[in-house]
Amino acid sequence: MPGTPVFKSPTILAGLNAKTIKGDKREEYATAIMYLAPAKMAGGANLCAMAREAGCDPTHDNGGCLVNSGQAQVFSSINRARIAKTQRYLANRAEFMAELVRDVQRFIKWCAKHGVKPAVRLNGTSDIQWEVAHPCDKDGERFTSIMEAFPEVQFYDYTKVYKRVYRQLPSNYQLVLSYSGAKQRYAEAVTKAAQETGANMAVVYRTKELRDYFVDKLVQYGETCRDVIDGDQTDLRFLDPQGVIVGLYAKGRAAKADTSGFVIG
């Protein structure tokens, strides 16, 4: 998008994602997103613990993972860079967190320069539980999480790890559950978590037309019966009303062709 200010750093970037740009203009937020290699694409630990159950594992034939959407489906160098970044994270988490702290500090200054509020999505293409086991240091002080270290930043993510929404999350961290009908046990667990905690739940529909059909209607998935909102107007999930289904439509080659049950319709 010509003329759009861009923030780039070793861990996060802002201004390149069309949906966050649209949201940024309306709400005066800039969202910096971290893109890692999902699941076990980089080798080592699984960064998307529920990917196989939810039908979005990129190493599985029918996985509708977002790693294959947008520019990443065209430029293989993008996914190579994500793998390299992920390998840095896996090799030395403490060093990676120090790098992330420096980049968030730079992003805050960049936002101030452009007159916008900072927001950060750490799981653009991963599902890491950043609220636990990820301490960091800032200005000589130890913090239990990156969210605690930067209370002036709004953090948010989608997640398929439904146990996360039962936790006492940092006040500046918003999680949206990601629904999938790939396996009945997962679908029941995620809709139950949404019902019991009040967390919003995102549902991906096959087409924009199908998504539009459900918007402003009361729809039930498992134990959750809620109004559907258009989640593609903006990516700023922390501004959504509580207790809704966030309707999205499939984007990218893999998602549009998904037959696992992750994409509805």
Mean pLDDT calculated for residue range 55-70:
60
pLDDT at 72: 46
Please give the pLDDT value at position 43. 83
Rounded distance between C-alpha atoms, residue 170 and residue 36, angstroms: 22
> How many Cβ atoms sit within 10 Å of the Cβ of residue 195?
17
State how far the Cα of 145 lies from the Cα of 205, in Å rounded to an integer. 34
SS3 64: coil
Whether residue 152 has pLDDT greater than 70: yes
* Residue 22 binned pLDDT confidence (cut-offs 50, 70, 90): low
Spell out the residues 6+ positions from residue 107 whose beta carbon is closer than 8 angstroms to its own. 7, 9, 12, 14, 30, 32, 118, 120
At 88-144, the pLDDT tens digits run 999 999 999 999 999 999 999 999 999 999 999 999 999 999 999 999 999 999 999
Q: How confident is the model over 161-213, as pLDDT tens digits?
A: 999 999 999 999 999 999 999 999 999 999 999 999 999 999 999 999 999 99
| pLDDT at res. 210 | 97
> Is 246:238 a contact under the CB 8 Å cutoff?
no
Q: Which residues contact 130 (CB under 8 A, 6 or more apart)?
A: 122, 123, 145, 146, 147, 155, 157, 173
Name the percent of the chain lying above pLDDT 70. 88
CA distances from 164 to 87, 105, 129, 174, 259 (A): 24, 26, 8, 11, 27
Query: Using CA atoms, how far apart are residues 73 and 70, in angstroms rounded to an integer?
Result: 6
Is residue 170 a contact partner of residue 187, using CB atoms and an 8 Å limit? no
Confidence class of residue 73 from pLDDT cuts 50, 70 and 90? very low
pLDDT, residue 21, reads 57
Q: Flag whether pLDDT at 26 surpasses 60.
A: no
